[in-house]
Amino acid sequence: MKTLYRQAMEWLYIACIGLAGVAMVLMTIFIPYGVFMRYVVNSAASWPEPASILLMIWFSFVGGAAAYRANAHIAVGTLLNMVNDTNRRRIERFGDVGMGIIGLFMIKWGVQLVHLVWDNRVAEFPNISVGASYIPIPVAGVITLLFCIERLWLGQPPPDSFTFRDQPQTE
């Protein structure tokens, strides 16, 4: 069961990285396109900026959950460096529990936010609900909570995670 959960979290992590990467690439294309249209063609396109903002929401929340799993988030290590290994593990577990609480907060209040503004429309994209633009908040809350469960149950993912099965493993 533990191995299956770890593998599922690895695939979820890869999906988060992929989604964040696609969002970043699209933003990198959309913003220069908008600048080109405005200043070179002298005919401003209305969609690149709001589309990039929507992509940034996905990039930030889903990418943030992936950064948490990879232990690549911003952390102040001064206190951790001042304590022994036992207390370090306790503080890290306390932080993981805190992140789990934040994940629950994002789920609860994110769902309420999505529900509250669902009938509003994004001005530049009338077919897109404002509520749909906030869906990344509860989705990232669920992902963060799953990654917290992984850490609390199985410990920190191994540093060699995010490897593909057909690649030879080196020791």
Q: Report the pLDDT value the prediction gives residue 74, as an integer from 0 to 100.
A: 72
Task: Tell me which DSSP letter residue 129 carries.
Answer: E
Which among 103, 19, 2, 121 is positioned nearest to 60, based on CA atoms? 19
Q: Report the pLDDT value the prediction gives residue 167, as an integer from 0 to 100.
A: 47
Which among 94, 97, 69, 98 is positioned nearest to 80, based on CA atoms? 94
- Sole residue written with tokens 């992140």: 99
Judge contact between 62 and 140, C-beta under 8 A: yes
Q: Report the pLDDT value the prediction gives residue 171, as an integer from 0 to 100.
A: 46
What whole-number distance in Å separates Cα of residue 37 and Cα of residue 41?
5
Domain definitions of the chain by residue range: 2-154
Instruction: For residue 35, give the H/E element and its range.
Output: helix 2-39
Q: Report the pLDDT value the prediction gives residue 82, as an integer from 0 to 100.
A: 87
Mean pLDDT by 10 residues, the chain (171 residues): 91 96 96 94 91 94 92 75 88 91 96 95 88 95 96 79 50 46
Residue 150, classified by CB atoms within 10 Å of its CB into exposed (0-12), middle (13-18) or buried (19+), is buried
Q: Report the pLDDT value the prediction gives residue 76, as an integer from 0 to 100.
A: 66
Residue 122: strand pairing partners: 125
Q: Report the pLDDT value the prediction gives residue 80, as an integer from 0 to 100.
A: 79
Q: Report the pLDDT value the prediction gives residue 156, as an integer from 0 to 100.
A: 78
Q: Is the pTM of this model over 0.85?
A: no
Q: Report the pLDDT value the prediction gives residue 63, as an integer from 0 to 100.
A: 94
Q: Report the pLDDT value the prediction gives residue 163, as an integer from 0 to 100.
A: 47
